[in-house]
Structure 1
Amino acid sequence: MSAKISKNSAEEVIQGFNKLRIEQRQLAQKVAELEQELNEHRMVIETLTGVDPSRKCFRMIGGVLVERTVREVLPALTTNRDQLTQLIDQLKEQVLKKAQDIAAYQEKHQIQIRGPGGQGPPPAGDERPAAARAAGAAGATGGGVLVSQGQS
């Protein structure tokens, strides 16, 4: 009966670990999306800089294409660019914090990541001592994640 409890506990640990990794991936994807949007803003600002301020231009606002002048659009684009830059910086900090949380969770639960064949070198950036990485695991589960049943 205790083996079943241990197995369930190990599965819960792995689920928690995978949840953290998914959250980190989602944050990183959002950063990439916002960086693309930021690049588009920079290109448009660069293009409109030096253009006659009274020249007509079109801007998409809430799914509606509206006619404006460069004089009206350029300040709004600059404000949006600055806000995007701040948001990207905040999200990058969250990604780094999530990476620290993942490392702490791995250390706490003695989780080892193995290659596709079940063996292999530790992932890049694994700063745990070689003894901790090489410690035998009580059981392997899907996703290349091993949870040691030793100390928690």
Structure 2
Amino acid sequence: MANTKKSEKEPSPEEILNGFQTLRAEQRTLSGKLSEFELDLNEHKMVIETLKNVNEDRKCFRLIGGILTERKVKDILPVLVSNQEKLKDFIDKLHEQIGKKGQEINEYREKHNIKFRGLDNPKQEEHPSSSEARGNVLVS
């Protein structure tokens, strides 16, 4: 039984901080991807609005995987609308994932009693007593 207690050892403050920073990095990565896809969605909207006012037999060009292809507006417009819908769905899922990641970060923060210097209890003393300092991780 002594071995099982050693395997359930409390993580060190450095391990807690690394875990927290990993979660925040994952959230930042998701936010970056969200920004990219929102830009793509806006580009799709602009192109669709432009092509709606053009003769459907007019030729247009589309860049696919680095290759410029020539098509007619009537062939490209439905594909763009379909891609726009898929982008909207994907963006919604990313919003959901970012929210879940934020919740996970908050739960991790509460579980390990992580405090931010200047944000949590800004009027608190700079140097807490030694009994208060145990188990806390201070992030600046």
User: Which bracket does the TM-score occupy, shorter chain normalised?
Assistant: 0.7 to 0.9
Would you say 1:71 and 2:67 are equivalent positions? no
Alpha-carbon separation, structure 2, partners of 1:28 and 1:35: 10
| Partner residue, 1:127 | none
| Partner residue, 2:133 | 137
The aligned amino acid for 1:80 is: N
Would you say 1:41 and 2:48 are equivalent positions? no
Stretches of 4+ moved more than 3 A in 1? 133-141
Q: Which residue, out of 84, 97, 103, partners 2:87?
A: 84
| Structure 2, gaps ≥5 residues long | 1-8
Q: CA RMSD in A?
A: 2.3
Shift of 1:49: 0.5
Shift of 1:62: 1.4
| Partner residue, 1:121 | 119
Shift of 1:137: 3.2
| Partner residue, 1:103 | 106
Does structure 1 retain, via aligned residues, the 8 Å contact 2:114–2:137?
no
| Partner residue, 1:26 | 29
Alpha-carbon separation, structure 2, partners of 1:109 and 1:65: 53
SS of residue matched to 1:52: coil
Alpha-carbon separation, structure 1, partners of 2:113 and 2:105: 12
**TM-score after normalising by structure 2:** 0.80
| Structure 1, gaps ≥5 residues long | 115-119, 123-129, 145-152
| Partner residue, 2:5 | none
TM-superposition CA deviations, 1:55-81 (whole Å, max 9, x none): 010001111001100000000000100
**TM-score after normalising by structure 1:** 0.74
Shift of 1:95: 0.1
Higher alpha-carbon Rg: 2
